[in-house]
Amino acid sequence: MPEHKKVLYIDVETTGTDPDRHGIIQLAAIMEIAGLVVEEVDLKFAPHDGAAIDDQALRISGTGRAELRERMSSSDALTLFREFLGRHVEPYDRNDKCYPAGYNVLFDLDFVQNWFRLNGDKYGLGSYVNWKRLDPLPLLFMKDFTGALRLPDYKLETVCRHFGIDIQAHDALSDIRATRVLLAELL
């Protein structure tokens, strides 16, 4: 891999599936530069004020409502995430951007973009990423289409089990670590 390539692997756990209504409660990211992990971040925090909270989403992530009240604020978590990004990317240099990566990563990116906007940042991740998404899911679908792979479903947990990749599903850090391994396996 060329020395200058940067990849931001990102995964979120949320209070539901609609980024306009629900909020993020966990964000994990891995910064990879030239194929090496240089830093990880795992932030657990309360959803933004006014976020709808779906009890089913909380059950999936194993999070209780009382636990959310004890966590740092959404805006404090965003400050920490921006600091993480800023340690590796110069936001005002258009040639210094990351490839965003994740499993069904558009879901995560939509939530993160909305999170930035809710906190008054209209550019959001655009200051840090090039929008050339790296996602194993379309590769898996192509393998399914050609008959090279047949799984009962293409949930991350199912796919990781097939490839022998360790995962504790619905924990953002475990999910994104597994996604990174999976993408390398597929490439």
Task: State residue 169's pLDDT score.
Answer: 87
Task: State residue 2's pLDDT score.
Answer: 47
In a domain, 158, yes or no: no
Q: Which two tokens stand for residue 80?
A: 């920490």
In a domain, 129, yes or no: yes
Of 165, 158, 161, 164, the closest CA to residue 180 belongs to 165
Q: In what order do the strands lie in the sheet with 6-14?
A: 36-44, 24-33, 6-14, 99-101
Distance CA 24, CA 115 (A): 8
* Interval 15-53: pLDDT, tens: 999 999 999 999 999 999 999 999 999 999 999 999 999
In a domain, 57, yes or no: yes
CATH of the domain at 68: 3.30.420.10
Q: For all residues of the chain together, what is the average pLDDT?
A: 95
Of 38, 41, 10, 6, the closest CA to residue 103 belongs to 10
Task: State residue 4's pLDDT score.
Answer: 78
In a domain, 14, yes or no: yes
Phi, psi dihedral angles at 52 (to 5 degrees): -70, 145
* Interval 82-108: pLDDT, tens: 999 999 999 999 999 999 999 999 999
How many domains does the chain contain in total?
1
In a domain, 63, yes or no: yes
Average pLDDT score over residue span 154-171: 95
Distance CA 7, CA 176 (A): 12
Domain limits at 103? 6-134
Q: What is the crossing angle of helices 172-186 and 136-146, to 10°? A: 50
Q: Strand 24-33 vs strand 6-14: parallel, antiparallel, or unpaired? A: antiparallel
- The alpha carbon dihedral of 153, 156, 158, 164 has a sign of positive
DSSP 93: -
- The alpha carbon dihedral of 178, 37, 44, 22 has a sign of negative
Task: State residue 1's pLDDT score.
Answer: 43
In a domain, 20, yes or no: yes
Average pLDDT score over residue span 126-152: 97
In a domain, 21, yes or no: yes
Average pLDDT score over residue span 106-132: 95
In a domain, 162, yes or no: no
